[in-house]
Amino acid sequence: MTMLRSAATVGSLTLVSRVLGFVRDQLIAFALGTSFVAEAFFVAQRFPNLFRALFAEGAFNNAFVPLFAKRVEGEGEAKARDFAIEVFSFLLAWLIFFSAMAMIAMPLVIYVIAPGFHASGETFQLAVDLTRICFPYLLLMSLTALQSGVLNSLNRFTAAAAAPILLNVVMIASNVVAWLMATGNTPKTGYIFAWGLFASGIAQYALLAIACRRADMRLVPRWPRLTPDVKEVITLSIPGIISGGVMQINLVVATMIATTLPGAVAILYYADRLYQLPLGVIGVAIGVVLLPDLSRKLRAGNEAGALTSQNRALELSMFLTLPAAIALMAIPHPIIRTVFEHGAFTRADTFAVAPALLAFASGLVAFSLSKVFQPGFYAREDTKTPMRFAVISVVVNVIGSFVLSRIMGHVGIALATSLAAWTNTILLGVTLSRRGLFTLDERARCRLPRIVASGLGMGGLLLAGAWLLEGNYAEHAGFFAAAWGLSLLVSGGIVSYFALAHLTGAMRLSEFKSMLKR
């Protein structure tokens, strides 16, 4: 139950962060809607966030963590700290150089990642300016990611999971500043938000630095040297960056194509934020905890224990992610109407975002399961196999986005992202199975079909409830009517799912209560 407790810690703090993120996105939607300022800001934060995700969920969780955990287990924490400082110092030097070059070449960068903006000089220039302000966030968050890997390997998950809360707190404060200054839906608001993102990077780095010092893992940079240990991390990180960050790579591809469609960048951003809530709370949390857990057990030669951990992670991921995906697909309009449709965000925007959310949600289970399967490779220091599958899924995403966007517009881009996720997940799972590294145990084989049945039953009840409460989401209905209706749907969905899970044996209520207590 240690893994479940750790996942609960990460998940609960991530839930707080995502709830605050909802507030942040509601305020951004209220202020900017789907205007050109919104699109410029979303592209500006997308580029540094790509690298944040690649380092936080890719290279260091996939390459650095197993190597660091191995040193903690075999050589002691002092040797492990020296190893971490070597990597930290080299990473810092590289990031300073890379960030400086990128900021100088920013017009070219924006031309590549947002080719559709070139037709509008105002949007293009604003995107260049805002990305230059946001870009140091990459440096700060990459170093924060390394600190997170150190703490996670020591079973200290709290600070790393709490850091994103600071991002949302600072961004909410930025919205308050924009409101007090009455900048409205203008480029001035975009500049305020960009500086807020930069400030949040400083706050998150400082929090993790304090946590590392308290864990006797203070990372003070030295003169960077390309030591054999650093070379080993780089060798494992290159494929790990690609495979671990496949979802982010797909989202960047989606953003590039979306800039060629009017309003599509902002529409896809709002849809992405909604389905990222369950993914971050469940999928990423399980992946963060599972990798060091598998690394330690494999280091100790406990193959059976590693297999059990992976089965329980898959079971827990499916139990929590599947109903979330079904709910997002069943009631997208009530969710978007309640959360975003205020101020500059119009009814037309709601009808544009809803089908994109449904398309993204169809891949939510795949995104989550990939976080269960990938550690099975990374814990064995195999980063090349997931990299090959990631490249295949990116190809599927690029081709799918080009083709489907011509047929379905922005919805086709979201659907292609989900198809790519399923491609990656199926390849990961099948390969682990063929190599004899993963098999479903008897408990998982028994419970997974019951989880699916419970989720489908809940989905049917949600559709019926949405039909009965249709008047709450009419254009003339106010916010409180929509919020009251959504509260009924969400609470009804939760109660019905857990009741069905109890009746079918997917998860007994006594088991769930016991898990929470432990």
Q: What is the DSSP string of 234-254?
A: HHHHHHHHHHHTHHHHHHHHH
Closest by CA position to 36, among listed 109, 127, 140:
127
Helix, strand, coil share of the chain (percent; to 5): 85, 0, 15
Q: Are 332 and 267 in contact (CB under 8 A)?
A: no
pLDDT over threshold 90, residue 221: no
pLDDT tens digits, one per residue of 267-306: 888 888 888 777 766 656 666 666 667 766 777 777 787 7
pLDDT over threshold 50, residue 67: yes
DSSP state at residue 440:
-
Res 251: pLDDT = 67
Same domain as 486, residue 366: no
Same domain as 420, residue 514: no
- State which of 385, 412, 439 marks the end of a domain: 439
- Write the DSSP string, 302-351: -HHHHHHHHHHHHHHHHHHHHHHHHHHHHSHHHHHHHHT-STT--HHHHH
pLDDT, average across residues 511-516: 57
Closest by CA position to 168, among listed 28, 374, 65, 332:
28
Q: Greater confidence, 495 or 511?
A: 495
pLDDT tens digits, one per residue of 333-356: 999 988 888 877 888 888 999 999
pLDDT, average across residues 368-383: 81
| The total number of structural domains that make up the chain | 2
Closest by CA position to 280, among listed 10, 3, 4, 485:
10
Q: Greater confidence, 452 or 317?
A: 452
pLDDT over threshold 90, residue 374: no
Cα dihedral 121, 125, 126, 130, rounded to 10, equals 160
- State which of 387, 414, 439 marks the end of a domain: 439
pLDDT over threshold 60, residue 518: no
pLDDT tens digits, one per residue of 135-163: 888 888 888 888 888 887 787 877 877 88
Res 287: pLDDT = 60
Residue 496: how many CA atoms within 13 Å on its side-chain side? 22
Same domain as 143, residue 112: yes
pLDDT, average across residues 442-448: 89
Q: pLDDT-based confidence at 203, cuts 50/70/90?
A: very high
Q: pLDDT-based confidence at 6, cuts 50/70/90?
A: low
- Residues ≥6 apart with Cβ < 8 Å to 7: 285, 286, 289, 290, 313, 316
Same domain as 454, residue 415: no
pLDDT tens digits, one per residue of 233-261: 777 777 666 655 565 666 677 777 888 88
Q: pLDDT-based confidence at 1, cuts 50/70/90?
A: very low
The pTM score is 0.70
Q: Are 326 and 365 in contact (CB under 8 A)?
A: no
Q: Are 147 and 160 in contact (CB under 8 A)?
A: yes
Q: pLDDT-based confidence at 2, cuts 50/70/90?
A: low
| Owning domain of residue 457 | 442-518
Cα dihedral 433, 361, 240, 69, rounded to 10, equals -80
Look up residue 399 and give its two tokens. Answer: 């081709």
H-helix or E-strand containing 477? none
Q: Are 6 and 290 in contact (CB under 8 A)?
A: no
Q: pLDDT-based confidence at 43, cuts 50/70/90?
A: confident
Res 195: pLDDT = 95
- State which of 439, 469, 499 marks the end of a domain: 439
What is the percent of the chain with per-residue pLDDT over 70, rounded to a whole number?
Answer: 87
pLDDT over threshold 90, residue 461: yes
Q: Are 352 and 267 in contact (CB under 8 A)?
A: yes
Res 206: pLDDT = 92
Same domain as 428, residue 466: no
pLDDT, average across residues 215-225: 86
Same domain as 419, residue 490: no
Same domain as 479, residue 380: no
pLDDT over threshold 60, residue 7: no
Same domain as 469, residue 433: no
Res 361: pLDDT = 92
Closest by CA position to 31, among listed 234, 182, 211, 253:
182
Same domain as 518, residue 419: no
Same domain as 300, residue 286: yes
pLDDT, average across residues 45-54: 70
Residues in the chain: 518
Same domain as 337, residue 454: no
Same domain as 415, residue 273: yes
